Amino acid sequence: MEIITRQVPDKPLTVTIEYPEYTESVKGLIKRIETLDVSFSVTSEDRQMRIAQSDVYYLEIVDRKVFLYTEKDVFRLNAPMQEIQSIAEDSDLVRISRTCIMNTLHLTGIRQLKNSHLEAELDNGEKLIVSRKYLRDIKRRF
């Protein structure tokens, strides 16, 4: 695969994919690129804004409300967890417990604690508890 990049001023970021044949790997590549463009509508101090999926560290349900965590901030998300789960398919987002979806893009490692619970560490130093049941789903993302 050849990767060509060029700067085109005053135009939005454009990805062109050229392929000899439309195969499953091409389809997968397109899907992955599409997910990079996904953003979430969040509420912060009564104003709406959008957060790109790549900036999301993890999402968590607390008291039936969905919260979105970025490197330093927390936002209330305006979408049910089921909808996020469907967006998360074929993306870097993966469910790690019943109440938490993590972005593997920011994952720096997984380790087993002394009490044999699993812990994921993110690149902002945050640590999340991983349910063993979802370990295989995380593995599939790599």
Candidates 97, 102, 103, 128: give the one binding another protein (CB under 8 A).
97
DSSP state of 110: E
Rg (CA), the chain: 17
Tokens 């987002």 belong to residue? 93
C-beta closer to another protein: residue 25 or 112: 112
Least distance CB 114 / another protein (angstroms): 9
Q: Is 139 in the site for another protein (CB under 8 A)?
A: yes
**Applying CB under 8 A, what is the total number of residues that bind another protein?**
21
Residue 31, classed as helix, strand or coil, is: helix
Least distance CB 107 / another protein (angstroms): 6
- Per-residue x/- mask for another protein, residues 98 to 137, rule CB under 8 A? x--------xxxxxx--xxxx----------x-xxx-xx-
For the sheet with 58-62, list strands across it: 47-52, 39-44, 74-77, 65-69, 58-62, 100-103, 93-97
Calculate ∠ Cα 91-92-98, nearest 5°: 95
C-beta closer to another protein: residue 9 or 109: 109
Question: Which residues sit at the interface with another protein, rule CB under 8 A?
Answer: 97-98, 107-112, 115-118, 129, 131-133, 135-136, 138-139, 142
